[in-house]
Structure 1
Amino acid sequence: MSQITTITFFRYKSFSKKVWAFGMMQFAHAKLANIKGLTLYKLMGSGKDGFNPLPDWSVYALIQIWDNEDAASKFFKNSQLIKRYKAKSNEYFTLYLKNIKSHGEWSGKNPFKKSDSLKDENPFVAVITRATIKKRLLIKFWRYVPTSQKPLSNNKGLIYTKGIGEVPFLQMATFSVWRDKESLMRFAYGSAEHKKAVTDTKRIKWYSEELFSRFQPYKSEGKWSGIEALPF
């Protein structure tokens, strides 16, 4: 499939720019609703470092799913909306992704289609996990998060990670970039803390909806501390 996904991060430093970015979580919808070749988008805020559920008012994310790379390129080159975002932000970064594997649902469906143009010589892996947490389990869930994410500290295979979300505390997601599949698998299945988190997810049923999607990152634009070291 020619479908690609892009994720763009924006960082804002001044109070006025943070207020503008927060407002665009509502006002940008009209500009994003009818873009040619854009099949789905998600405007997202972010959490503080360490998957803290408290909002990070300085960082926002935009996830977009495109029919093809040409449609994405035209948007990032010509869109007045994205030009405003870039002009207001102190730092921005877009990563282009091809889907490797995806399961689960996001807003009632799985929007990601597996790519047929993956490159064996590209070892890097990006992951998006997304879930809607059941309201009655919110406190219990967030109390356990620091333990489940502990193996990420000083993980040499992890290049970058950030907690993002549509609704604070309730609809949360994670984005991460890994050096290779092996590094990701060691975290997912090699750490006792994360294996327990997987088991508890099945036993307690934290989520009313969840999705896991793995991608091959292959192109980037802009700069972002930690990710721009990628060879492309």
Structure 2
Amino acid sequence: MSQITTLALFRYGNWRRKVWALSQMGLATGRLKGTEGMRFLKLLGTGAEGFSTRPDWGVYGVLQVWDTEASAVAFFKNHPQFQRYLYNSEESLTIYMRPVKSKGKWNGINPFEPAVAPEPGNSALAVITRATIRKKYLRTFWKNVPDSQRPLKGIRGLIYTKGIGETPFVDMATFSLWSDEDAMKAYAYGTKAHSEVIRKTRELGWYKEELFARFQPYKIIGDWKDIPDLRAFRESLKRRGTGS
């Protein structure tokens, strides 16, 4: 069995729950270390709509890499910390993904080992881009972000996107879910604003460390009001024979 990656998102309602969720960014790492079958872990905050510098205090994520799917399922079913996340949240979503391609490093390593081969018949794509921004370029980077993200509104094939990260302003990432690779490429390379940001990134060297990874999502559990077509998308994975 090849490794899999999971991203769990949780939405918290009232301010008490949000304060609890924020506290877990510091407390939960110790509780989760040593989880059987888990080889990589990141607790993530998120940004407001549009990959903003403004935090979304109501949404947090847990990104994990597993030796096998069975290890992930056992964790989600039995681990006390995950049960705390579920209990305190008003909504949750867990996405199972097979790594397809990964380039770069995250804290000095590349945690995503590509699967032997993606499952045939499943064209869905998930993308994680992650970077540590050099401090001298922080102002310039965030000045360019709004223009690069604007074309995402209404773009064909985009199921969901969210800014995620470990440290506000500096250690930033994006997660996006697409119907297929062509749709993702049409945005990444076919929109002038985003192509310009790519050019500036290469030219100026904004990032101290960066990583770009593609995945094949194959199973989605839970609900998420920010994804209107989630049920249809989830059912499409099942029809392709790759979800359950």
Aligned amino acid, residue 153 of structure 1:
K
Gaps of 5+ in 2: 238-244
The correspondence of residues 204-219 of structure 1 with structure 2, limited to 5 A, is 204-219=204-219
Q: Distance in 2 between matches of 1:195 and 1:29?
A: 37
SS at match of 1:71: helix
SS at match of 2:176: strand
Query: For residue 33 of structure 2, what is the aligned residue in structure 1?
Result: 33
Q: Does 2:90 align with 1:99?
A: no
SS at match of 2:182: helix
Aligned amino acid, residue 113 of structure 1:
E
Query: For residue 199 of structure 2, what is the aligned residue in structure 1?
Result: 199
Gaps of 5+ in 1: none
Deviation at 1:191, TM superposition (A): 1.0
Deviation string 1:100-148 (CA, Å, 9 cap, x unpaired) is 1010000001111011241120010000000000111111110100111
Query: For residue 67 of structure 1, what is the aligned residue in structure 2?
Result: 67
TM-score w.r.t. length of structure 1: 0.98
Query: For residue 240 of structure 2, what is the aligned residue in structure 1?
Result: none
Q: Distance in 1 between matches of 2:91 and 2:217?
A: 20
Q: Does 2:143 align with 1:136?
A: no
Q: Distance in 1 between matches of 2:120 and 2:145?
A: 34
Query: For residue 44 of structure 2, what is the aligned residue in structure 1?
Result: 44
Say whether the 8 Å CA contact 2:133–2:209 is kept in structure 1. Answer: yes
Query: For residue 242 of structure 2, what is the aligned residue in structure 1?
Result: none
Q: Does 2:230 align with 1:228?
A: yes
Say whether the 8 Å CA contact 2:130–2:172 is kept in structure 1. Answer: yes
Query: For residue 57 of structure 1, what is the aligned residue in structure 2?
Result: 57
Q: Distance in 1 between matches of 2:191 and 2:118?
A: 28
Query: For residue 159 of structure 1, what is the aligned residue in structure 2?
Result: 159
SS at match of 1:116: coil
Question: When the two structures are aligned, how many residues end up with a matched partner?
Answer: 232
Q: Distance in 2 between matches of 1:117 and 1:94?
A: 22
Query: For residue 18 of structure 2, what is the aligned residue in structure 1?
Result: 18
Q: Distance in 1 between matches of 2:155 and 2:115?
A: 28
SS at match of 2:155: coil
Query: For residue 113 of structure 1, what is the aligned residue in structure 2?
Result: 113
Deviation at 1:153, TM superposition (A): 1.2
Q: Distance in 2 between matches of 1:125 and 1:72?
A: 20
TM-score w.r.t. length of structure 2: 0.93
Q: Please identify runs of 4+ aligned residues in structure 1 that moved more than 4 A.
A: none
